[in-house]
Amino acid sequence: MLDRVGNSAVELLASIGEASLFALKAAREIFVPPFEVRETIRQMYELGLRSAPLIAVSGVAVGVVLSMHTRASLERFGAEAMIPAGLAIVLVRETGPLTAGLLLSGRIGAGIGAELGAMRVTEQIDALEASAVDSFRYLVVTRVIACVIALPILTTIMNFTGMFGGFLAESASNGMPLGLYFRRAFSLIELTDYVPATLKTMVFGFIIATTSSYLGFNTASGTEGVGRASTKAVVFSSILIILANVILVRIIFFIFPQAAGG
Amino acid sequence: MAEEAPAVRLDHVTKAFGNRRVLDDVSFDVPAGSGFVILGRSGTGKSVTLRHIISLMRPDRGRVFVDGDEISALNGPELSRVRRKIGFLFQNAALFDSITVGENVAFPMRRHTKMKDAEIRKRVLERLHAVGLEREYDRMPADLSGGMRKRAGLARALALDPEILLVDEPSAGLDPITADEIDDLLLDRKKRGGVTLIVVTHNIPSGRRLGDTLAMLHDGRIIARGSAAEFDRNSDPLVRAFMTSQHAG
């Protein structure tokens, strides 16, 4: 029994070590030419642009729900006029980036895990290598770059569509016009609210791409393994994003103390 | 005069997975332009041998040379340079399933040559014509039969006119006519193109046709080596059983 626990612990540590080295290699090779420009653009389309509808629709829904909650709270203090600004700050600082990160860990993480896993078990990754192509650069680095670039853009889309959702709820509730809603929404937002919170999603993108690529790249046991890689990619990416978010928020508050203020 | 380096040389190669030794001190030379056929029962290390030659696997001990370069010690651009001399037909073809058949064959050309799109298309069509698949240019690999996939894989393996062609089970899962057609294509590349063939197969008639030299792997070691005629005279019970098996074709 003790032996089994010990072996499992050693295997787990070895996997964490391997995954960390994999991520470090990806981080280093992002900056090393030659760059796979064509494949990176294709991945930005597949992983980024094609995720936009999911993010936009989710953003509207999140905005509507947040607006309803905010109204219920602020109405008690007669501060309904603050709803657009309050909603915008909540969205831009935290809800937008984290929700986008978690949604994309589902869509992109599962996709990368399954695609690379299937390529591994059908020997397509070996075929790339046999064609004298560096499979790591071609498959992993391109996806990492695409995710790191796409996440902040998608997060911005989520922020705006979230605010639009808030407007729809407000408009239905009290007929507030669009112009007035967005003027109020942006009245308290500062650059230090938007930039650090949005840029932190580059780390989320890196986490999603490296975690799911690592699991896909190391898939074994046929189609069952592909399914497992896909599921694990979502689970581990989500957990790591939530944990990284705690650290990143702490770092943002340290560097931009005003971001911690009200 | 300096002796010409063999196209492929395995020098005391040993490879183990866990406690299981798959290749045990395996050595052989394959002269350029010849056919070398590796026979053996399933799980005896035949495919692992091919993977060592193109450095998809590295030996635990020993060295692998391709055209005089120690491929088992190369990395990065040097490894790519040597790999470009080799074409590899995988047992299940391993076509890239997200792109068309034509783009599969074009892939190595786009990666490693400066040819224009029109020229690439022309050469891809030539390669596909050679394997009887020119009409399948725009089809996806999933829409092809097993035999067609294999022929498309061969077209891709030949895309860059490799000096060495590694072929893993060319006739596995194919009807005898298609299997013969693939063998004909391989022989044509060897005779007319001077390509060095290294073929893993269970199919004895195919092995006889393709191989100037046959080698039999058993438990990770080469237990017999020679021409087909020498194999026929070999008294080793395992070799005899293999060569005379009714399922060998």
A244 contacts: CB under 8 Å, gap ≥ 6: A203, A204, A207
Instruction: Closest CB to B88: pick one of A118, A130, A134.
Output: A130
Q: Is A133 on the interface with B (CB under 8 A)?
A: yes
pLDDT at B147: 86
pLDDT at B120: 96
B141 contacts: CB under 8 Å, gap ≥ 6: B93, B95, B96, B97, B101, B104, B149, B152
Average pLDDT over residues A170-177: 92
DSSP state of A137: I
At the top level of CATH, which class does the domain B1-85+163-173+195-249 belong to?
A: alpha beta
Q: Is B58 on the interface with A (CB under 8 A)?
A: no
Tokens of A212: 């799911």
**Helix B146-157 and helix B117-130: axis angle, to 10°?**
130
Q: In which residue are the tokens 């399914």 written? A: A227
pLDDT at A213: 97
Segment B130-146, tens digit of pLDDT: 888 999 999 999 999 98
For testing contact with chain A, the best of B98, B158, B165, B169 (most A CBs within 10 A) = B98
Distance CA(B232)–CA(B224), nearest Å, equals 11
Average pLDDT over residues B201-224: 92
CA dihedral defined by A228, A230, A236, A239, rounded to 10 degrees? -120
Segment A21-42, tens digit of pLDDT: 999 999 999 999 888 999 999 9
Number of domains observed in the structure of chain A: 1
pLDDT at A157: 98
Distance CA(B61)–CA(B64), nearest Å, equals 10
> Which candidate, B185, B174, B176, B172, places its Cα nearest to that of B147?
B174
Q: Is A131 on the interface with B (CB under 8 A)?
A: yes
- In contact, A214 and A22? CB cutoff 8 Å: yes
A204 contacts: CB under 8 Å, gap ≥ 6: A97, A100, A101, A104, A105, A151, A241, A244, A245
Boundaries of every domain in chain B: 1-85+163-173+195-249
Range of the domain at A39: 2-260
The pair phi, psi for residue B224, each rounded to 5°, is: -155, 150
Mean pLDDT of the residues in chain B:
92
Segment A120-138, tens digit of pLDDT: 999 999 999 999 999 999 9
A74 contacts: CB under 8 Å, gap ≥ 6: A80, A82, A83, A86
Q: In chain A, positions 56-115, which contact chain B (CB-CB < 8 Å)?
A: none
CA distance A129 to chain B (A): 7
Contacts with A122 from chain B: Cβ below 8 Å: 92, 94, 97
Mean pLDDT of the residues in chain A:
93
pLDDT at B248: 53
The reported pTM is 0.88
pLDDT of residue B249 exceeding 60: no
Whole-number percent of chain A with pLDDT over 70: 99
Contacts with A127 from chain B: Cβ below 8 Å: 88, 90, 94-96
Q: Is A243 on the interface with B (CB under 8 A)?
A: no
pLDDT band for A6, please (50, 70, 90 cuts): confident
Instruction: Closest CB to A127: pick one of B79, B90, B112.
Output: B90
CA distance B86 to chain A (A): 8
Tokens of A91: 């969205």
